[in-house]
Structures are given as structure tokens and as C-alpha cells.
Chains A and B, each alone.
Chain A
Amino acid sequence: MEEEKAVIRTENLNLYYGEKHALIDIEISIHPNKVTALIGPSGCGKSTLIRCFNRMNDLVNDCRIEGKVIFNEEDIYDVDLDPVLLRKRIGMVFQRPNPFPKSIYENVAYGPRVHGIRDRAVLDEIVEKSLKLAALWDEVSDRLHDSAMGLSGGQQQRLCIARSLAVEPDVILMDEPCSALDPIATAKIEKLIGELKERYTVIIVTHSMQQAARVSDYTGFMYIGKLIEFGKTPQIFESPAEELTNNYITGRFG
């Protein structure tokens, strides 16, 4: 394996919601500048897993985590580690587009601002660059100061991607980013994901196997809290090693 090259790597990761054992002995290595997809039936723990990578599970009340998540040779669950700084380097795009009720400009500038950038010219530049990277600039450049709530669902989701790009993360986590979007908007996001991997590492949770096959380089199949199989995407879809994986991708359950 190429362990030393991994951006994020878990060791014996277990997660409990109260009594419920939601993630069981997860061992996974995420490769830099690649798109990694996590697939599996509803409730299998794929969203829970990526929310471990930026410690969003900290916000859930009786959630307990054992084991390690290593990000660039640092254990992110180390007591000294500041989750705020971690989240600056590992961005996240959510299932439903969640722009703030501010203008388009302010949405993108929010991240840089909270990290201390105040110079208007610098902010202008970051906003433009991020919106261009998220392939949204052409559609909104003439109405940057309109409310983001007026954008279409697909535009809102690309705005959320631009917003996370604006803080210049190393990794972008995407939690079913297209589940609330129509096919055309989905196609745009998927194209964007392909472009993003040149600069970023992308981890995407998806419900759609076709989407995983289209956009990802690596795929992990999860089932009831366990990572059943992980490998290069073509290999997972063409010759899975596990019976369960095969059943799932051939549509026998899930």
C-alpha cells in the first residue's frame, strides 16, 4: 500500500452514538489529489465517516470516538488539536446546499474574513478566484451583492463549494452533494469535481453508484458500519473481491 502518501488515514476507528456502534474498525487511506468515493446503502455510516475527518461529529451530543484519524501525520483527535484550525484545512460541502442568508459575495468572503483577512482588494480577489474555480463566476459576476438565497439549487451548491475553496483547504469532503439537485446541475457539479482534484483531495459520499463510477479514482464500499472493500474504482466496479460488494453494485440489495 501507499500508506506514507496518504493525506488522511484512519487506524482502528470506532464510533458510537450512545449505545449504537455506528462505525466498526475502519481502516482507510485517502490518496492526495484523487477523488475517493464512499458508497453503500442508507445508514451504513459513510456520512458519519467523513464527518469524523473534520470533527463535525463533535457537535453531536452523545457521540464517542475511539481509534485514530491521521491527517498529515497528526492525530486529529489529539486533545491539543484545535478543531477550528483543522476545519480550515479540511473543507466540507453538505448534502443540501446551505448558503448563509447573506449576499453571494459575503458567503464566499465569510471564511477568509473569519480567518482575519480584512483588505477589501484581497477579499475581492479571493471571491473572484473561488467563484471561477467553482464554475459559478460567469453566472453571478454581475450580481455579487444579491442574496445567495435567490440562486437555483445547483448554483447554491456550487456557491457552497466556492465558499469552502475560499479558505484554501487541502481536502474537500462532500456529503452527497448532488442528492438535492436535478440531473443538469448534477452534471455540472460532477464536471467540477473532476477539475478540483488537480488542486485538492476530494472525498465524496454518494448514494449513486453511477456517480461514484463517473467521478472517483478510488471507491470504498461500506455496509452496516464496516468498510467492506476499498480499492481503485474500476476494480471495485468490475471485479469486486467481496460477495457483499458484488451484490450491492449489481443491485441485489440497497
Chain B
Amino acid sequence: MTKTGFFSKQSESASGIISRQKGRITDSIIGAVWFFTAVFAVFTVLFILVFLLRDGLPVFSEIRPADFLFGEVWNPGGAEPSYGILPLITGTLLVTIGAMVIATPLGIGSAIFISELAGPRLKAFVKPAFEMLAGIPSVVYGFFGLIVLTNQLRIRLDVPSGESWLAGSILLGIMALPTIISVSEDAISAVPREFREGSLALGATRWQTISQVLVPSALSGITAALILGMGRAIGETMAVMMVTGNAAVIPEPIYNVLSPVRTLTGTLGIEMGEVATGSTHYHALFGLAVALLVITLIINLSAMAVIQRLKGEKRSSFRISERYRDYIIKGLYGVVFLLLFLATDIITALAVLLLAAAAIYIRRHLSPGVLQKGAFGLIWASAGMVLLSLAVILYDIIIHGYPALTPEFLTSSPSGLGREGGIFPAIIGTLYLVAGSILFALPIGMGAAIYLREYTRENTATRIIRTGVDLLGGTPSIVFGLFGFAFLVLYLNLGVSMLAGQITLGLMILPIIIRTTEESLKNVPDSMREGSLALGATRWQTVRNVVLPPALPGIITGAILSIGRAAGETAPILFTAVVFSRRFLPDSVFEPVTALPYHLFILSTNVPGSETNQYGTALVLLILVASIYLAAVILRSHFQKKAAW
């Protein structure tokens, strides 16, 4: 990272022997433009915060902060409205914890599977399959959860309704998996080969090497992966809103996973569309969004801190001496047991204790070979389960959606509230929204990345900009939606319009574009820049002619990925751009549109009897987004093979 920002003031010739003022002036103007694009991201974060606070703080003039934060009843519509967000925060935390309990073992297992167990061929198939999970739009997850998962839970567990904490956690767990898998796999693969060889050369088995050298060495990366996955789960709106039942209650007893819950994001998604602007309820929702933003900020900042430590830890010594670590671990076990004892009863606690003792006994007395077989079996099983969930989701949607796919369905307008007719306006609306958002975000994102990489050195300003970009990337999509509503729709008076949706989506994908562009610029070796500069080219000439051409494939890949992301998103456009059952195409950017994810959301939650068209819409959306991702993956691997410096 010390090499970042190859150009600097010092590298400019300051002698002034040859005056080529014209080139120099153009150069500094272009540099200034890039600087402003880079600052844009930071300002966006500030703006979001300011606008949320502007509409959120007034709530405290009517409700005491303590009543708001710790009030146990959320009932804005009641005769005596009550705005306590404690059940919502509890709901968010419980669903997230549940998701992590499911996703952590599966994710780490799958990451170990790809990086250590799968052969090259299997890996070439499994890795894109895992990435495919990230390509399924959240509304499609929600749709699957609503139609299949909650139903299955209801039947198999014999409960009145499957819409529950458990359903939300399963779905969010699956959705958090791709993040956890890819980041932990990167971390494990990045452990130097020497560690692997060093351990194997001492006669350690592969499992001993994995469990005692590779995973501990990659622990910071894995921790970051888990935190990022958690951020993904907390910020998710659509899927969670569609399967958790949305009753604003604290489960009774607290570990009752079959109880319905309501999350912060779900509340925003449900109530924001119906609230009167300027009412107490309206301000309460913005206050709630601030709470959500603060939670995600904390999570993202801690992920960043962990990653930062990861970069700097090569030479640092251990914080906790290993002797004390033994005691600390033993103490932790004690605490866990005590908690278990308090939360449940003595029988369960003893049973768990017995199991743990048995596990330790088995670990000690089985030969390393047998232990390895067991561990590898579990790792295979976790990778298998992840693949299975993907297969089940895809299978269900393809099988049921395929019959709906007729030419008329794709080319006609909906009728009968979407029960009949097609989805043509929704397809076109989605394409408009996506095109507008990329037109907005690509120049700004590329400019920001070029500034960060080519026009400056690492300093406080770039650190602030990078932090801003990272925070923007971790902001829940529903918060973008709220910001778009407050700033674009109301403050700038754009109204619910395509333009407002395009800008909101554009802001959301900005961090992806900045990050991928920066990454591709980083891959261009400094020697090429030096070669160009040594010939007397200006910065901008060097960037344009030498740096950008080889980086272009990577930049395009990033753009395609963000198009896929924008096409599948619902929450940001929910209050900014879309109206349901629009039969016609918009005439200008100031008119509202409809879009595929939104159409699917409304059909599946509000229009009973439209199952065929629901599945049809889900399949079209899935195909659209999946083919966009596929294009990006193919492009990436194509150019990875070609790029040999």
C-alpha cells in the first residue's frame, strides 16, 4: 500500500526549462475534476447522515429518547400511538444472530473446502456456484422464503404460521454466505504457501495444518468476513420483511425461534410508504433509520479496524501471551456454560456439557488420520449444503416460472392487478433505472478511483475518502431509499420519479465502482507509468494512454457487477421511483416507473392468486441478474488469463 498514488508533487519536473504551460494547465484542471468526484462519496455519506438526522431528530421533541430507545411497544397506528423501538432492535439482533449461527459454520467450511479440499476442476464449478448466491436478488430470496420456506416450516414443524424468526434467520444466513465464503476464502488462500509446506514437512496431517496453522493465520480475515456477513444480514430489508411475520414483539421466551419478529429494516420497508410526511410517525421512522445506520456504522468500522490490523500485523507481537490465552479460553467456556444454565435449565446445560466433554475426549483419543476424515466429512457436508440450498432455490423458481414465460408475458402490460397480462413495463422500467444509475455512477466512481490511485499519495485526505467509500458500501439499501425520499423526492421536489430512483441506485452502486476501478488500476505495474513519464508525458496523458487501457476490462467488470446489483434491488426505489401496476412506459425521467423487483414484491405480498405471474416475474428477474453476473464472471476470467505482465 505504500506505493499507492504513484504520482506526487515531487515526481513533477519543477525546473521550468521547457515551458509547456498548456499541457500543465489542462493537467491540473483534470486533476481537480477527479478530486471533486472523489470528495463526492464523502459528501454523500455526510449528506445521508444530515438528512436522516434532519428528519429524525424532531422525534425527540415529542418522545423522550429513553422511551424511544427502550420502549417495549411499537404501535404508531394505535389510538394511543407508541413509538418504542426496543422490540425492533431485538428483532434485528435475534434474526442476525440466528443467521450467523447458520452461516458461520457453513461459510467457513465452504471457504476451507474451496481453498484447501476441492481439486482444480471441482473448484472451477463450485466457486462460481457460491458466487451465484450473491447474484440472486434479495426480493427473489424473499419470494422463495414466503412461498416455499415458510410453508415448509409450517408443515414440518406443525405450527400455525411459518413466518418467523427462524425463517428470517435461515434466509439471511443463506444471503450472508457468499460474503463470508468469498472473504474467508481469500484470507485462507492468502496464507503464504510456506506455512503450508512448513507444517506438512513436520509431518502434520492436512487437517492439522488447516486447523492449527492456516485458519489461525487467516483469523483476522475470517473475522472480517463474519462481520461483513453480519452487516449484510442486518441491512437486508426485502427478504426479511417477507418472511418474519413482522409482529413487533419480543419473542416469549426469548429463544423461541418460531415466534414472529419485526426488524428495523422491515419496519421502514412496511411503514415508510404509508406515513404522512412531517408526522410524529414520520420522524420516528427516520429516528429508527438513524439507529439502523449507527448499528451498521459500528459493524463496518469494526470490520475495517480488523482488516487494518490484518495489514499491519505481520511484525507485531502477540497482544495476549499464550499462557494467559489458555486461561481466558477456559474462562469463556465457563461463562458460556453459565449463560446456558441461566437461559435454559440444568438438564440441557448438563447435556451440552457432556457433549462438549465427549468431543474433547474424541479429539484427544482419535488418531490424527481418523480426525481428519471426520473433519473433512463435515467440510464436504457444509459445502454440499450450501450448493443444495442454491439448487433448491433455482430449481423451484425455474420449474414453476418456466410455464409463465410466454412471448405475451414478456411483451404485454399487466392487467387485473398483475394476475394477468405481462411484465413489459416492469422490464423496461428496470432497464431505464439501471441505465440511468450507471450513467450517473460510472463517471463519478471512475473519477474518484483515478484520483485516489493516480493523482495523490496516501494521506489523511485519501484515508477519509476511502473510509467514506467503505461506509457508503456498508450502508443498508433501505437507508439509501429513505435518503432518496427525503432529499430527492421531497427536498429537491423531484417527486416519485425515475430520476430520483436512478440517482438513489447510482449512489448505492458508487462504492462498488470505485473499489473495482481502484483494484484494476492497482494491477497496472508502476514500471509502465514510469516508462511513460520518462518520455515526458503528462499525468493525464499517462493515465489515458498507458494506465487506463489495460485496466479497462477490470473497470467494465466492476460496472457490470454493479448493474446486476442495481437491477435486483428493491428497497432504494421503493419510495423514490416506483408505483405499482403502471401500464405505460414513462415519457420523461420525472415520471414514476415500475420495475421487476418491485412488481414481484407487490404481487407476492399483496395480490393473492397471481402465483404463475409471480414465478414468471421471479424467473425473468433471476435470468436478467444472473446473466449480468455471468457476463462479468466470464469477462473477468477471460482477461485474467490474458493479463500476464
Q: Give me the interface of A with B, judged by CB distance under 8 Å.
A: 54, 56, 59, 61, 82, 84-89, 91-92, 94, 96, 98-103, 105-106, 110-111, 113-116, 118, 145-147, 149-150, 160, 163-164, 167
Contacts and interface: CB of A to CB of B under 8 A. Distances in A.
Given A84-B368, A150-B315, A110 B199 contact: yes
Contact of A114 (B194, B205, B216): B205
A170 to B, nearest CB: 12
Contact of B318 (A82, A118, A145): A145
30 contacts: A54-B201, A56-B200, A56-B201, A59-B197, A59-B200, A61-B120, A87-B200, A87-B202, A88-B202, A88-B203, A92-B201, A96-B194, A98-B198, A99-B198, A100-B195, A100-B199, A102-B322, A105-B322, A106-B322, A110-B213, A111-B202, A111-B204, A113-B212, A114-B205, A116-B368, A118-B364, A147-B318, A150-B315, A163-B198, A167-B202
A114 B202 CA distance: 9
B323 interface: yes
A98 B197 contact: yes
B201 A146 contact: no
Contacts of B205: 84, 114
A232 B573 CA distance: 80
Given A94-B194, A146-B317, 7 more contacts: A86-B203, A88-B202, A94-B201, A116-B368, A149-B314, A150-B315, A164-B202
Nearest to A92: B201
A110 B212 CA distance: 9
Nearest to B119: A61
B217 A101 contact: yes
B160 interface: no
A120 to B, nearest CB: 10
B208 interface: yes
B223 to A, nearest CB: 15
A78 to B, nearest CB: 17
Nearest to B214: A100
A30 B368 CA distance: 31
Contacts of B322: 102-103, 105-106, 145
A115 B203 contact: yes
Contacts of B313: 101
Contacts of A59: 196-197, 200
Q: Which 5 A-B pairs have the closest CB atoms?
A: A88-B203, A98-B194, A92-B201, A111-B202, A87-B203
A34 B481 CA distance: 74
Interface in B208-264: 208, 212-213, 216-217
A91 B318 contact: no
B208 A102 contact: no
A110 B201 contact: no
Contacts of B196: 59
Which label, helix, strand, loop or mixed, suits the secondary structure of the B interface? helix
A110 B196 CA distance: 13
A98 B313 CA distance: 16
Contacts of B637: none
B492 to A, nearest CB: 52
B203 A85 contact: yes
B204 A114 contact: yes
A1 B216 CA distance: 48
A100 B219 CA distance: 13
A3 B120 CA distance: 41
A96 B195 CA distance: 11
A110 B199 CA distance: 8
Nearest to B202: A111
Interface string B362-391: 001000110000000000000000000000
A114 B318 contact: no
B317 A167 contact: no
Interface in B289-316: 313-316
A113 B120 CA distance: 31
B192 interface: yes
A86 to B, nearest CB: 8
Contacts of B323: 145
Contacts of A87: 200-203
B321 interface: yes
Contact of B192 (A98, A118, A163, A167): A98
B361 to A, nearest CB: 13
Given A84-B204, A85-B203, A167-B202, A102 B314 contact: no
A106 B326 CA distance: 13
A56 B203 CA distance: 11
Contacts of A115: 203
A103 to B, nearest CB: 5
Contacts of B318: 103, 145-147
Given A100-B213, A150-B315, A110 B195 contact: no
A7 B407 CA distance: 76
A94 B317 contact: no
Contacts of B364: 118
Contacts of B316: 147, 149
A109 B204 CA distance: 12
Interface in B313-357: 313-318, 321-323
Contacts of B217: 100-101
B421 to A, nearest CB: 55
Task: Pick the most buried of A96, A98, A101, A164: most chain B CB atoms within 10 A of its CB.
Answer: A101
A59 B199 CA distance: 13
B561 to A, nearest CB: 30
B203 A167 contact: yes
Contacts of B317: 146-147, 149-150
Contacts of A54: 201
Nearest to B209: A114
A86 B313 CA distance: 34
Contacts of A114: 199, 202-205, 208, 212, 368
B222 to A, nearest CB: 14
